[in-house]
Structure 1
Amino acid sequence: MNLQRDPFGRLLLDGEPVNPVRAHPISAPDEGLSLVGPDGHERAWVDRLSTCPEPARSLLQEELAQREFHPTVQRLVKVSTFSTPSEWTVETDRGPLQFVLKSEEDIRRLGGPGEGRLLITTSHGLMLFIADRWALDRASRRLLERFL
């Protein structure tokens, strides 16, 4: 795979600009990566990022890190009301955050029954990840249960 950066920092595959897009960014981030050209068509497919040879793997990981931003919620501090829309104050791995939850449908369960992974979409489109809702402190779980 002939992957490199041009002088402007764009990722190039065989001299053509591409953007990496994960097939399953939350559930299987290492599996299935598409390199998409400016016209939206796939130029290459990577089955597993971890098996991609260096330096291409490093370039792809750098590009993905710039494009993907999914803070992980560590604690729910406050919820303005138990009906939506409501204003939430949370602590994430990237620092404190206040956001508006428009509706209960903006909290999605990931995985099968009994799994604690959640994805929360704020009113501004930012996606927050909860790796395991059962691992949150008791007060956070109580606040969250009102919306599930």
Structure 2
Amino acid sequence: MSDLDFTLAEDAFGQLQLTLGDGSTHGGVVPVRAFPIAAPDEGVSLVGHDGHELVWVPRLSALDASRKAIIEAELAQREFMPVIERIVSVSSFVTPSQWTVATNRGETTFTLKAEDDIRRISTTTLLIADSHGVHYLIQDLAALDRNSKKLLDRFL
């Protein structure tokens, strides 16, 4: 469905409620990005509690400010993906190893279980999964400092 005739509001329980242009309402709606890393503004699906798509939004920028803000707030709650700005230290060059990193959300330490948990998304972008399933993003390898690149190269 690609019709952008809908309204969004939070219900009394803080869940997203969708009202379509035909007047039908759906509670427990969840926004899901089609391409959260490569194209975060493109392709957002509003999915009902049963897992079926109710509305397809081709571009978030096509929405008015209030609907866009509601969807972005919901996505921010669901998509916790800190961006690694610097690798402070690595306990060992053999996995599992403890990594201490500086992210856009502060410094943290996590366990890298295996080198396979570092995935190349593009030539400049990496996605690192820790032992608890939290994903960390390196948006631009070239932007990392020399020491961070040196530590990371040992795992790539």
TM-score by structure 1 length?
0.94
Q: Does 1:2 align with 2:7?
A: yes
Which of 9, 13, 28 is the aligned partner of 2:39?
28
Cα RMSD after superposing both structures:
0.9
1:53 CA displacement: 2.0
Residue deviations 1:5-58, cap 9 Å, x none? 112211111231210000010110000001111111111100001111232111
Which segments of structure 1 move beyond 2 Å, counting only runs of 4 or more? none
Aligned to 1:13: 18
Which residue number corresponds to residue 140 of structure 2? 132
Cα distance in 2 for residues equivalent to 1:100 and 1:13: 39
User: CA shift at 1:65, angstroms?
Assistant: 1.1
Q: Where do 1:110-121 residues align within 5 Å?
A: 110-111=121-122, 115-121=123-129
3-state SS in 2 of match to 1:116: coil
Which letter does structure 1 place at the counterpart of 2:114?
S
- Give the aligned length: 145
Of 86, 90, 93, 2:104 maps to 93
What stretches of structure 1 of length at least 5 have no aligned partner? Answer: none
Aligned-partner SS, 2:65:
coil
CA–CA distance in structure 2, aligned partners of residues 146 and 66 of structure 1:
33
Does 2:114 correspond to 1:123?
no
Equivalent-residue separation in structure 2 for 1:39 and 1:62 (angstroms): 21
Length-normalised TM-score, structure 2: 0.90
1:73-122 residue CA offsets vs partner (Å, 9 max, x unmatched): 111111111111111111111111101001111111112xxx21111000
Separation in 1 of the partners of 2:149 and 2:116? 18
Asked if 1:83 corresponds to 2:91, the answer is no
